[in-house]
Amino acid sequence: MFKWKEEYKTGNTLVDEQHKKLFAIGDSAYELLKNDGYLDKYDKIVDTIQELKDYTVYHFRAEEEYMLKSGFKGFFAHKVEHDDFIEKFENIDYSRIDDGQNEYILGILNFIADWITQHIIVKDQQHSHK
């Protein structure tokens, strides 16, 4: 579903490799959505969120370190965007997962899609080509 493309490259190999991991998490969330073999996906959904959260914190930290090292002027604006993504994890209401498990997975997929289209494709291009 989420297909990595050459045009997503930022010019920083480490950042690019980490971005690919986000695509992989997105793919496994999509597989989970399509899989009708589970009667209850709750645990898998929680696992996916946890993996995504750990990845997000780890990746943003690495990206921020790189931006600081390279003296990127837009650092603070970029960090604010990262913090907004991380904040979304703080507000997760796990009790709502069972309102509609597949819809909940769709929400996760939307989150990843937003990240890719609004952040990776636009913002991450700015700090890495220097």
Q: In terms of CB distance, is 41 or 78 closer to Fe ion?
A: 78
Cα separation, 107 vs 130, in Å, equals: 34
Cα 58 to Cα 18, 48, 100, 103, 124: the distances in Å are 9, 15, 29, 27, 16
**Distance from C-alpha of 96 to C-alpha of 126, rounded to nearest angstrom:** 37
Binding footprint of Fe ion on the chain (CB under 5 A): 63, 124
Specify the residue, 39 or 122, whose C-beta has the smaller distance to Fe ion.
Answer: 122
Least distance to Fe ion from the beta carbon of 27, Å?
Answer: 20
For Fe ion, the closer CB: 12 or 41: 12
CB of 65 to Fe ion, least distance (A): 12
Least Å from the CB of residue 55 to Fe ion: 13
Minimum gap (Å) between residue 54 Cβ and Fe ion: 17
| Cα atoms in the 13 Å half-sphere on the side-chain side of 83 | 6
Pick 104 or 111: Cβ nearer Fe ion:
111
CB atoms within 10 A of CB 7: 7
